[in-house]
Amino acid sequence: MSKSINLYFQMHQPCRLNGDYNVFCIGNHQDYENEDVLLQIVKKVARRSYIPMLKKIGATKDKLGKNFKVGIGITGLALEFLEKYSPEVIKLLDSLLKKDAIEIIAETYYHSLAFLKSEKEFEEQVELQAKKLKKLFNYEAKTFRNTDLIYNDHLAQKIESLGYEVILAEGTDMALQGKTPNAVYRPDAAPRLKLLLNNSSLADDLALRFNAKDWSEYPLTAEKYWNWIKLSLQKHDLINLFLDMETFGEHISEEEGIIDFFDKLVAESQKETEFEVRWVSPALAADLHYPSGSVKCVPFTSWRGQNRDLSMWIGNPLQDKLLDFSYSLENLLKEKANKKLLDSWRKVLSSDHYHYACTKRFERGWDRRFFSPFESPYEAYMVCINILSDIKERAENNGR
């Protein structure tokens, strides 16, 4: 008897905006980005997280062969910045694809909230990311993952219409309605698509609680974690675990044992005698396991925040005004702006910038995976508004 662990990693790096871009800069210069900070962060994250983890994935594939393959979602922006500042990561991804160690997941190029505001822009960003994958790796993705696992039935319909076979989402109560996340489903509104839902509890044990010394289960050992996974696999044939790759080495440092934890967990799984364990990518999981029924999800869900909804990015006046102003520029920019200005606008569309304007980070239980480079949500809002105002003015002047 064989069981599957569907492991998926997310890789994303947003543009780092110029925090000094104030109202007096509008109309005077286009220094929207802080290249020095971006370079430092990308190189640091690549060194601490991406490179060691991608090497671990390759070494594990060499050991386990057909029993090991994982999913990796990587935004177009991340690919772009890694090409420029850490090309070793691109080479590692290419080598892992060639040895069939990974499946790359499709998503929006700029890690945007576009589906909430403009389906046209959403489709264009999905196509841009697809072209980037084709250019870099000659690769076409079968699985789609929206920004921060934002999902509902309408999105499933759109993704089905774009020809993807599998979609990922968070295993929220709203989506599951009492069902287990440890299965393959079909979206109620898109019956040709297969839906995989994150086991939120198990994923958060790693991402949020691994190094939490006030947690009753601290320290989390690979043996203990494997026993929890095994309890689920005794009842189900599949476990879905979706994680930021930065969990390994960046959010949680290598010195705290998180990267070695990965090796030890895989080793524990291979000691199992009750059943065979395969580590599989999302598309492989969807192929190997027959759908257990359908799931209906009308409200939007995500993998961020206590409520797993959209409140990390929308809901307070700063976020809502920023989002509305951002997408109000779409037609103008696509009609009049040059390619560089359109790219600058799209970089501001990354969900990170709306998150920085979130006031929930001051609440108890804040998701510590996120940080903000700004001292306050208002400062984040004003920097974005000023940059967008300059973009608008230049577009109205035919891109000058």
What are the pLDDT digits (tens) for 300-353?
Answer: 999 998 889 999 999 999 999 999 999 999 999 999 879 999 999 999 999 999
Mean pLDDT of the chain: 95
Predicted pLDDT of residue 305: 86
For the segment 204-231, the average pLDDT, to the nearest whole number, is 96
pLDDT over 80 at 1, yes or no: no
pLDDT at 364 over 50: no
In this prediction, residues 205-214 reach a mean pLDDT of 94
Q: Are 370 and 266 part of one and the same domain?
A: no
pLDDT value, residue 360: 73
pLDDT tier at 371, thresholds 50, 70, 90: confident
Nearest CA to 30 out of 397, 318, 376, 335 is that of 397
Could you tell me if residue 312 is inside a domain?
A: no
Indicate the pLDDT class of residue 215, thresholds 50, 70 and 90. very high
* The pLDDT of residue 378: 96
Q: Are residues 109 and 198 in the same domain?
A: yes
Query: Tokens 């084709």 appear where?
Result: 134
157 and 207 part of one domain: yes
Q: Does residue 221 form part of some domain?
A: yes
Residues 106 and 238 in one domain: yes
Range(s) of the domain holding residue 127: 2-295
Q: Is residue 311 part of a domain?
A: no
Is the domain of 145 the same as that of 228? yes
Residues 205 and 349 in one domain: no
- Please report, rounded to a whole number, the percentage of residues in the chain having pLDDT higher than 90: 92
**In which residue are the tokens 């974005």 written?**
384
Contact 184, 143 (CB under 8 A): no
Q: Which residue has the tokens 């891109």?
A: 399
For 194-206, write each residue's pLDDT tens digit.
999 999 999 999 9
100 and 187, same domain (yes or no)? yes
The last residue of one of the domains, among 295, 330, 354, is 295
Task: Tell which of 295, 327, 362 closes a domain.
Answer: 295
Same domain, 197 and 257: yes
Q: What is the pLDDT of residue 363?
A: 54
pLDDT of residue 139 exceeding 90: yes
Domain boundary pick from 295, 326, 350: 295
| 236 & 329 share domain | no
Confidence at residue 328, expressed as pLDDT on a 0 to 100 scale = 98
Confidence band (pLDDT; 50, 70, 90) for 267?
very high
Predicted local confidence at residue 372, as pLDDT:
86
Q: Pairing mode, if any, of strands 166-170 and 194-198?
A: parallel
> Is 49 a domain residue?
yes
Domain count, the chain: 2
Q: What is the DSSP letter of 293?
A: -
Instruction: Tell whether 134 and 55 lie within a shared domain.
Output: yes
Mean pLDDT of 346-375: 79
Residue 309 forms part of a structural domain: no
Whether residue 210 sits in one domain with residue 62: yes
Q: CA 339, 340, 344: angle at the middle one, nearest 5? A: 115
- 362 pLDDT exceeds 70? no
Q: Is position 243 within any domain?
A: yes
Task: List pLDDT tens digits, range 116-129.
Answer: 999 999 999 999 99
Residue 361 pLDDT grade (very low, low, confident, very high; cuts 50, 70, 90)? low
Q: Which domain CATH number covers 110?
A: 3.20.110.20
